[in-house]
Every structure is written in C-alpha cells, then in structure tokens.
C-alpha cells in the first residue's frame, strides 16, 4: 500500500511526461525544471527527493547538484517533508493575514 506522502504523484505536472526528459544532464535540466514551475505538488516532490537522497533527475524544480548542495548546507534537517509542509502552511497563512486590514476603520 502506498503512503499518503506518495499520493502526490498522481497530481504531478510531470505524471504523463517522458521520464527520460526529467533525468537529463547539463542545459537540458533547465528545460526539465520548467515542467516543475506551477506544479501543484512541487513541495512534496522536492521533499521526497531530499528525504530519500535521490541522486538523479530533476525533482521539485531542483537538479541533483542543487539538492546535494542544499543537503550539505542543512545536514540538521531530519524531515524535509515536515519542514517544507510547515513552511508552505505558514507562508499561506501569512498571505491571508496580509490580505486583511491591520486596523478596521468605521
């Protein structure tokens, strides 16, 4: 049985893409990263790659080199899924707070 964290794959923008187009090298990686832009599950995808130390392909808009650098900078992170999900939730809450007036007039 698949975990809840894996269900994101059915909503991924790349779900019908040719996998060979996502596991490329060099300049072609930039084209692969375009698929990630605006993907509704980009955070989950990136967390999966970071938590599982996936060392190939573009995941969540990051290349393997970018992910390795991030992992080196932040070896203290035990769960990227938890960190990124919490950050996304907090960011969404901050956006909602900004939409509301700080002081009500009237």
Return the SS3 of 40.
Answer: coil
Does 45 carry a binding-site annotation? yes
CB 8 within 8 A of CB 44: yes
Question: Is 89 known as a binding-site position?
Answer: no
39 known ligand binder: yes
Q: What ranges in the chain are assigned the alpha helix state H? A: 28-36, 42-51, 64-73, 80-99
83 is in an annotated binding site: no
- The binding site comprises 14, 36, 39, 45
- The binding site for [4Fe-4S] cluster comprises 14, 36, 39, 45
């Amino acid at each position: 049985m698949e975990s809840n964290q894996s269900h994101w794959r059915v909503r991924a923008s790349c779900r019908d893409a040719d996998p060979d187009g996502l596991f490329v090298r060099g300049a072609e990686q930039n084209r692969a990263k375009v698929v990630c832009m605006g993907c509704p599950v980009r955070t989950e995808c990136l967390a999966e790659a970071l938590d599982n130390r996936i060392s190939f392909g573009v995941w969540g808009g990051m290349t393997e080199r970018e992910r390795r650098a991030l992992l080196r900078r932040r070896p203290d992170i035990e769960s990227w899924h938890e960190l990124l999900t919490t950050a996304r939730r907090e960011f969404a809450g901050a956006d909602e707070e900004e939409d509301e007036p700080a002081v009500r007039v009237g």
